[in-house]
Amino acid sequence: MTKRKRAVSEYPDEYPNASEDDEPERASQTKRFRSSFANTITVLAVDDKVPFTVHTETLRAKSDFFVKACQREWIKRQDKTVKLPEVEPETFELYATWSYFDKIDLEALRLVKAGEANHLRRHEETQEQREVWASGTRSLMHLYVAADFLGDKELKKRTIDCLTEIVETRHQLHGLRGLLLFVWKSTPPGSGLRTLLLDYIVSYRDSIHQWVKGLEGVMSADFFVDLALHQLKRNKCFDNTRHKPLPGRKHMYYDGYESDA
């Protein structure tokens, strides 16, 4: 089998002894190389200081937002730039990886390495490990919110899967107060992410009444209403038994899910 050659014009030192017969092939490859960057746009996250160059078809295949943003009339504009003032650069970097490779880059969040310490009891974890979990969980929630804004339903499900696994295996979310503030500010009522957090509080949070009291003046009234209604619903479903497990329930946090209860 003939080894595929890269365009000589881009890598001039690779074929010092190339014959003239190779010219048509090299010309074709050069054309493909250049055209592969023709259908790209620049995405500017938050402060416009970090540009991302991404293929339009890659984004359109995942995102309803980019389907509309990259319409033929718009794409003819010379700048070909989309601004996302609500999305952090780190979050869009995760989104770009998802768009190209169909996976959430947990290794970039250091959650894969931290997962090796899952067998440790909470008091055996180092401060660094707790910070890794807190940072990774926060990044996943930011990714969920970005996916919601960009109209990427599949990524929202995959993000919920990751977050549900964290809750199931660890029974703990570090930096919960900050997560609650962000989620109730950034998601609509009834979102799957809100439901997951409410389930976590009701199922695993010790001294829930005392803990919730400490949120007075911090969280909005909507949060307390949502929590009260969720507790009533859980009590009805589980006969007032606390600490019911979450395993196998991740589908309940997908948007559009309707409980039979």
* Exposed / middle / buried, residue 155 (Cβ in 10 Å: 0-12, 13-18, 19+): buried
More confident site: 152 or 251: 152
What are the structure tokens assigned to 95, written together?
């989104």
Q: What is the pLDDT of residue 13?
A: 39
Q: What is the pLDDT of residue 104?
A: 95
Most confident of 36-40, 164-168, 203-207: 164-168
Domains of the chain, by residue range, sit at: 41-87
- pLDDT at 34 > cutoff 80: no
Q: What is the pLDDT of residue 6?
A: 33
Beta partners for residue 44, in sequence order: 51, 83
Provide mean pLDDT across the span 247-260: 66
Give the pLDDT confidence of 206-252 residue by residue, as tens digits. Answer: 667 778 888 888 899 999 999 999 888 877 665 444 445 455 567 78
Alpha helices in 36-126 (DSSP H): 56-60, 64-69, 72-75, 89-101, 111-115
More confident site: 20 or 202: 202
In what helix (H) or strand (E) does residue 241 lie, and over which residues does it extend?
none
Q: What is the pTM of this model?
A: 0.77
Please name the residues in contact with 55: beta carbons below 8 A apart, sequence gap of 6 or more: 36, 39, 40
More confident site: 114 or 14: 114
Q: What is the pLDDT of residue 116?
A: 56
| Mean pLDDT over the full length of the chain | 77
- pLDDT at 145 > cutoff 80: yes
* Exposed / middle / buried, residue 123 (Cβ in 10 Å: 0-12, 13-18, 19+): exposed
Q: Report how far residue 195's alpha carbon sits from residue 255's, in angstroms, rounded to the nearest whole number.
A: 10
Q: What is the pLDDT of residue 26?
A: 42
